[in-house]
Structure 1
Amino acid sequence: MSNDTARSSPSPSRPAGDDSSEFDGRLDDGSDTIILEIVEAVAAVTNQELVAMSPLYDTVDPEALTDLVTSARDQSVDVSFSYEGCRVTVSSDECVVVEPTER
């Protein structure tokens, strides 16, 4: 994993080391929490304030995304999309990976 990649696993999300663009945490169940985890991970990678970012719902339907990854516990499901210059992958195993696509 590069220094410009954020991976979310066990809550709460926290810096994993000295590099503030990388952290580990897991998604909690619940739409608001999943969406907040995604937006916070993208903000960390892009060094943006949350209020300066476009709403996630302009890119993906948050309710549909949450339903898809939380209801697929018996199967492996990965959903990827672009948001704020990053490729975001959300998995049914409760992981979020954020990788910058622009420099």
Structure 2
Amino acid sequence: MTEPTILHAVFTAKPGAADRVAALLREFAEIVRAEEGNVVFDATRLVDDPDRFFVYEVYRDEAAFQEHLAASAGVPFNAALQELIVEPASILTFLRRV
């Protein structure tokens, strides 16, 4: 059995951009959740710091994750997100189940 690809992404909205980031994430989440290899795509905001976002993603396996990366919807999403966040890109952390 192959291992799922699990990761989380964190990023901070620029001042005044948090609601636009949230809307962008809601739209993108619907697209990602429809991908055949996606298991989980949960986009959340920190309660104590609503400009900070935490996205938890699980893909069936590495091949499904690579398909996600190659999907055409990711390019405009990432370009728009990059304009709205403090960091140069989402900070990704890959995880492994215990």
Q: Same fold (TM over 0.5)?
A: no
Q: Which has the higher contact order (CA 8 A, sep 6+)?
A: 2
Larger Rg: 2
TM-score (norm 2): 0.31
Bigger fraction of residues in helix: 2
Bigger fraction of residues in strand: 2
